[in-house]
Amino acid sequence: MKDNLIQYILGIADNSLILGQRLGELTGHGPAPEIDIAITNISLDLFGQVRSYFQYAAQLSDKDITEDDIAFLRTEREYVNVLLVEQPNTDFGYVITRQFLFDQFHYLLLSALQQSTDATMAAIAKKSIKEVSYHKRFSADWMKRLGDGTKESNQRVQQAVNDLWGYTNELFMLTDADKQAIAEGIGVDVTLFKKEYYENVAAILEEATLEVPTQAFFQKGGKEGVHTEHMGYLLADMQYMQRTYPGMKW
């Protein structure tokens, strides 16, 4: 049961860790100072939330490990984030679309997780949702601005929506750890808000004068540790310091 809870925690936290790392790559490289600061702030929020989850997982573990071991010293196959969050920062349209598609999901997930029978998970959710409501607002605003902006911005953000759409379905797939956590009352059954998610996303895309993709083929694998080619590069960058100087601290 404890091992399952740890695995369940990773299923939630790895999404925020990997997305936070992707956003962190933009620090100092944002298209404008305000956006640079916003993206860095969102990244920081996500890392803060990840720390709470990983501290809890480390505490549950029988092994003598810390949050840093979990964050930095796993192999690629041991990360169980969805493929969506590891997709690269192709351009600002992709950055915002990836954020938008994740924020809409993240908010619904945390709303439900607040009712978890596990007090720590519920507390982390209650804390995080306040921050995520700002993220959700930010990314939805930018979807509208880009979609309903110039011809160029519309085309490029539409391209990002079309490309990233195929990664959304994986958000709603249940792993064995999910199923067990749901049965125990700890976990959230994400399939229950799948319809709501796609309705919310469609409403914002419509407002942004963007088309909702109709494709039916979806990618999956991240939740089982099978990642896209981008993941290795991301991890190499993220793990470099801990691999090179084991146990290094600030």
Partner 1 sequence: MTTDQVNIDEELIPILRQVSDPEIPVLSILDMGVVRKAIVVDEVVEVSITPTYSGCPAMDVIGEDITAALAHAGYQAKVNLVLSPAWTTDWITPEGRKALLAYGIAPPLTATADKKALLGGEQLVKCPQCGSANTEMLSQFGSTACKALFKCKECQEPFDYFKCLT
Residues of this chain that bind partner 1 (CB under 8 A) = 34-35, 37-38, 40-42, 44-49, 51-52, 119-120, 122-124, 126-128, 130-131, 134, 137-138
Question: Nearest to residue 23, comparing CAs of 37, 40, 35, 48?
Answer: 40
Shortest distance, CB of residue 192 to partner 1, whole angstroms? 24
Shortest distance, CB of residue 36 to partner 1, whole angstroms? 10
Shortest distance, CB of residue 67 to partner 1, whole angstroms? 12
Q: Which is nearer to partner 1, 48 or 88 (CB)?
A: 48
Shortest distance, CB of residue 97 to partner 1, whole angstroms? 18
Q: Assess contact for 226 and 175: CB atoms under 8 A.
A: no
Shortest distance, CB of residue 20 to partner 1, whole angstroms? 9
d(CA 1, CA 58): 15
Q: Which two tokens stand for residue 196?
A: 């709501």
Count the Cβ atoms, other than its own, within 10 Å of residue 66: 15
d(CA 224, CA 10): 12
Q: Which is nearer to partner 1, 28 or 75 (CB)?
A: 28
d(CA 126, CA 191): 21
Q: Which is nearer to partner 1, 51 or 74 (CB)?
A: 51
d(CA 51, CA 70): 10
For the chain, what is the total number of helices (H) and then of strands (E)? 10, 0
Q: Which is nearer to partner 1, 123 or 182 (CB)?
A: 123
d(CA 62, CA 139): 39
Q: Which is nearer to partner 1, 144 or 220 (CB)?
A: 144
Q: Which is nearer to partner 1, 32 or 216 (CB)?
A: 32
Shortest distance, CB of residue 101 to partner 1, whole angstroms? 19
